[in-house]
Amino acid sequence: MPTNKQIHLASRPEGEAQAGNFRLVTAETPPLADGQVLVRHHYLSLDPYMRGRMNESKSYAQPQPVGQVFQGGTVGEVVESRNPKYAVGDKVVGFGGWQEYSVVDGNQPGMLRKVDTAHVPLSHYLGAVGMPGVTAWYGLVKIIAPKAGETLVVSAASGAVGSAFGALAKARGCRVVGIAGGPDKCKYVTDELGFDACIDYRQHPDAKSMSAALKEACPQGIDGYFENVGGYILDAVLSRLNAFARIALCGMIAGYDGQPLPLANPALLLINRVKLEGFIVSEHMEVWPEALKELGTLVAAGKLRPRESIAQGIEAAPEAFLGLLKGRNFGKQLVKLI
Ligand code: NDP
């Protein structure tokens, strides 16, 4: 059996996460038991939610155990099988964690899903046609529930979730405005993703300035907001909401390293009769087939062209992950192993 390089969580961060919180370990892959398959990972998914799992504190997900393989989504290929449902060469999506190989019980529901790479590249099953894409779909369709012609705003617009949100919202006839960090990301959001406008928040570093930029980009006000960031950007959006606006509260990455995220004027939620709903995509497995079908169709048709930031080799995973939390990624952050 092959040796298997792994990244473990070595310690919990105090404040900002550091490379020293991770450790590279080399292990042996054990022989397969009946029903198991050996998957060689091609890509690891790096996702902002992983930062929350590094902490001990109570959250919607269990903390990542210290001293064990760092958990996360993976795509790869079956290289050995003792399960009749999986053949050597099958391409699969799973939750194999930060390691080169995983041994999976192929009979356990939800552990492994075969995917077709004829029209959608394997890596996209971790992004636009995977968990981040479904996240965008759920917040848009089930919470914001837009009508054609409405104005929607999404923060972290160039990222894995934000880019899918844009394509899905455009397909429903909405005006879509992104918020992203820097001119290159904003150019990609408008020119390649087809958003109607994009605001570079680095040019608008406080709520007042951001609110003025939103006024210009959203002359009819904002009917729906997909929140990925938190902080002053949320304050600015609240100041431009229309009555009966809907907010899908998906993430608050500006606070993931423990930064406080005060809300300056929560009364605006009442004044505008806003519906605000937080959600966790893994609690809505019932929508995944419908969402994945639409996302796969958009990608295959070239209507959603997701961008990827690809770090090379398992050793690069911790630094790439820390970069993701600081916006150094441009699109879905992956680690390529082979
Ligand atoms: P992205 O690919 O969007 O990467 C994260 C981006 O966040 C960075 O590229 C950066 O973009 C932006 N960012 C980081 N720090 C800040 C900051 N302080 N202020 C403003 N922007 C910042 O990641 P994902 O698409 O995977 O995730 C997007 C959001 O969705 C995250 O908040 C994540 O936690 C959440 N999420 C929630 C799920 C759920 O079930 N609720 C499921 C999946 C994701 P930029 O340079 O433009 O600032």
pLDDT at residue 1 in the model: 78
Do 117 and 168 fall into the same domain? no
Q: Given phi > 0 = left and psi -120 to 50 = alpha, else beta, which region is 20?
A: alpha
For the Cβ of 132 lying below 6 angstroms from any atom of ligand 1, the answer is yes
What is the enclosing helix (H) or strand (E) of 90? none
Which one of 142, 228, 324, 325 would you pick to mutate in the ligand 1 pocket, going by the greatest count of ligand atoms within 8 A of its CB? 228
Q: Helix 160-171 vs helix 288-300: angle between axes, to the nearest 10 degrees?
A: 80
Among 253, 257, 276, 283, name the best residue to mutate to test ligand 1's pocket (greatest count of ligand atoms within 8 A of Cβ): 253
Query: Do 211 and 96 lie in a common domain?
Result: no
Pocket flag, ligand 1, residue 49 (CB < 6 Å): yes
The answer to whether residues 93 and 25 belong to one domain is yes
Domain range enclosing 223? 131-282
pLDDT value at residue 181: 97
Asked whether 280 lines ligand 1 (CB < 6 A), one says yes
Residue 207 and residue 316 in one domain? no
Pairwise CA distance, residues 83 & 70, whole Å: 26
Q: Is residue 137, in this structure, part of any structural domain at all?
A: yes
Q: From 245, 239, 224, 122, select the one nearest 168 (Cα to Cα).
A: 224
- The answer on 137 and 121 residing in a single domain is no
* Sign of CA pseudo-dihedral 154, 160, 164, 166: positive
Mean pLDDT for all residues in the chain: 97
Distance, in Å, from the CA atom of 105 to the CA atom of 60, rounded to the nearest integer, reads 25
Q: Is residue 297 part of a domain?
A: no
CA of 38 to the centre of ligand 1 (A): 32
CA atoms within 13 A on the CB side of 22: 23
Distance CA 33, CA 30 (A): 9
Write phi, then psi, for 199 (nearest 5 degrees).
Answer: -105, 125
pLDDT digits (tens, 9 = 90+) for 39-86: 999 999 999 999 999 999 877 778 999 999 999 999 999 999 999 999
**Ligand 1 centre and the CA of 45: distance in Å?**
14
Judge if 249 and 312 occupy the same domain: no
State the pLDDT at residue 62.
85
Q: What is the CATH number of the domain that holds 151?
A: 3.40.50.720
Q: Say how many Å lie between the CA of residue 107 and the centre of ligand 1.
A: 34
Residue 295 forms part of a structural domain: no
* Nearest atom of ligand 1 to the alpha carbon of 179: 47
- What six digits make up the tokens of 161? 């979730």
pLDDT in tens, 142-181: 999 999 999 999 999 999 999 999 999 999 999 999 999 9
214 strand-pairing partners: none
Span from the CA of 254 to the centroid of ligand 1 (angstroms):
8
Within a domain: 141: yes
* pLDDT above 90 for 6: yes
Average of pLDDT values for 284-308? 96
pTM above 0.95, yes or no: yes
Q: Is the CB of 135 under 6 A from ligand 1?
A: yes
In a domain, 291, yes or no: no
Whether 194 contacts 167, CB under 8 Å: yes
CA of 173 to the centre of ligand 1 (A): 24
Give yes or no: residues 199 and 96 share one domain. Answer: no
280 in Cβ contact with 138 (< 8 Å): no
238 and 119 together in one domain: no
Q: For residue 13, is pLDDT > 80?
A: yes
In the chain, the amino acid numbered 35 is G
pLDDT tens for each residue of 107-143: 999 899 999 999 899 999 999 999 999 999 999 999 9
Q: In the prediction, which pLDDT does 115 show?
A: 96
What pLDDT is recorded for position 286? 97
Is the model's pLDDT at 89 over the cut of 90? yes
Q: Quick one: 236 and 149 in the same domain?
A: yes
Count the domains in the chain. 2
Res 58: pLDDT: 74
Does residue 294 sit within a domain?
Answer: no
Q: Are strands 241-249 and 222-227 parallel, antiparallel or unpaired?
A: parallel
Q: Is the pLDDT of residue 238 over 90?
A: yes
What's the chain's Rg over C-alpha atoms?
20
User: 239 and 142 in one domain?
Assistant: yes
Q: What is the pLDDT of residue 57?
A: 83
In a domain, 176, yes or no: yes
Spatial CB neighbours of 210, under 8 Å, sequence gap ≥ 6: 179, 199, 201, 204, 232, 233, 236
Output the pLDDT for position 30. Answer: 93
Do 198 and 323 share a domain, yes or no?
no
From the CB of 320, is ligand 1 less than 6 Å away? Answer: no
Q: Say which residues have a Cβ less than 8 Å from residue 267's Cβ, sequence separation at least 6.
A: none
Q: What is the CATH number of the domain that holds 71?
A: 3.90.180.10
Q: Give the burial class of 103: count Cβ atoms within 10 A of its Cβ; 0-12 exposed, 13-18 middle, 19 or more buried.
A: middle
Same domain for 118 and 138? Answer: no
